[in-house]
Amino acid sequence: MAALPAPPPARRPAVRSSAAPGRRGGRLARCAAAAVLAAAALAAGSAANAANAANAAASGTFQQITGFGTNPGNLAMYSYVPAGLPAGAPLVVAMHGCVQTANDYYRNSGWTKFADLYGFAVVFPQTNSTNNSLSCFSWFDAAKDSRGSGEAKSVVEMVTKAESLYGSDSHRVFVTGLSAGGGMAADLLADYPDVFAGGAIDSGLPAHCATTQSAASGCQNSDQRLTPAQWGDKVRRAYPGYGGPWPRVAIWQGSADTTVKPVNATELRDQWTDVWGIGQSTSATRSLPGGTTESVYHDPYGRPAVALYSIAGMGHGLAVNPGTGTDQCGATGSYFLNTICSSYYTALFWGLDGGGTTTPSLPAPAALTATAAGTGSVALTWQAVTGAASYAVYRDGAEVAGPTTTSYTDTGLSAGTSYSYRVAAVDATGTEGERSAAVTATTAGGAQLCFTDNNYNQVKAGRATQNGGLTYALGSGQSMGLWNTFTTHTLRQTAPGYFVLADGQC
């Protein structure tokens, strides 16, 4: 099962949208789906046995999570959480390929092994045949893969939900995916560099290579003849005005891939090294198992920023290597190929083993306060952090300022609107530390509605959601306690579909 199934001898597009195809296109899509599913069925027995063995030691829980947001992309959310996972652990988002499911990726990719070993939660988004005839993530559709839109927004809503449920460290959130899932992972890194600290694209496409389905096949099969700067511009345009820090990116590619041609790995390398401003000269190279060559590109401080893993002779799929060794993982099957455990080396590259470069060096600023200073501004103050050269101020997840003092006034805001703020210390090398807990402030003016009721009725009225017997405010995700008629709270609506706790404030 792959994100973009290998085409038969007759030429056909490798991606199908949810729009109704013509008669010939419809037959080809159905035949392609049938061929891939048949291949999966042939491998199902051995793959299932291997998968069960590979995951026998998993100690946590794999389950579906509902009520994670407005979900404009019509996705499903699944998660794996190791037993006894403490608050403040990292979070990994792992995206399946076409004709696959979240369960396939959970069983075969190997990520649960390292979630148990290194201590982090994993979110497995899942798309469906209603979104795309082959259940592909829509990496090629500008209406679905852009910041604030469609599937991309749904995935970020899952991140917010996971942070609320598991206390995940918002500074250590990573995304990875196979083929179409890899293309969407690249798009997410471009759209939300303020959310993801790193990513991995496995047999995937450069960020925003295509913006329409008709352009998708060209991206998969041919050199787009763009300069590194032109590739980098596609990332920079995804979130205008963002100035960093940028996510650290791992790129995995088989040299014999005929579905997503190896030139895509080169283009990904060009794209992300340009974004980092570090050029395309390799900083270090080494040989790894499975005929794999690792080429690393360092940031200005000598730390790995981009890594390209080229696997000699491997076709289209995710690199796994079943076994009990620390550097082994996963289960083989359709488009899960026995070469090298890519999940292990990706986890090391991100620093999930505790030895990487992504762990912040400075603590979060304490005592952050946010106070409305009129109809259009909010005043912030916080305690100084030893070793800080400056501070990064985030409003609603986006960096808005970098003051060198311990105060900042955010201006040009809308009246009667609630804003969420976090602050992080930045050292002399430009490395950002832990972000503070979020605080909110509501600017003066503007009419806002308040609703006081029990949690059961708040959910029934659509102002809150419930999961596992607990209630969460719609939009903000703030915990409201047990889902029953005995627990009462006041919710204030600050925007359509967005409510915040306002007990005693209305």
Q: What are phi and psi of 504, to 5 degrees?
A: 75, 5
Beta strands in 190-247 (DSSP E): 198-202
Separation CA 9–CA 22 (nearest Å): 20
Separation CA 406–CA 384 (nearest Å): 6
CB 491 within 8 A of CB 458: yes
For residue 263, give the 3-state DSSP assignment.
helix
Query: Beta 464-467 vs 292-298: how paired, if at all?
Result: unpaired
Name the residue among 114, 74, 111 with its Cα closest to residue 96: 111
Separation CA 125–CA 64 (nearest Å): 10
Asked if 179 is an active-site residue, the reply is yes
Residue type at 84? G
Question: Given 3-state DSSP classes, what are the helix, strand and coil percentages for the chain, each rounded to the nearest 5?
Answer: 25, 25, 50
- Exposure of 275 by Cβ count < 10 A (0-12 exposed, 13-18 middle, 19+ buried)? buried
Say what angle helices 180-191 and 228-238 make with each other, to 10 degrees: 70
Name the residue among 190, 332, 334 with its Cα closest to residue 268: 190
CB 134 within 8 A of CB 16: yes
Beta bridge mates, 126: 76
Per annotation, catalytic residue among 17, 79, 154, 179: 179
For residue 327, give the 3-state DSSP assignment.
coil
Tell me the chain's radius of gyration from C-alpha atoms.
Answer: 23
Residues 6 or more apart in contact with residue 389 via CB below 8 angstroms: 404, 426, 427, 428
Active-site residue list: 179
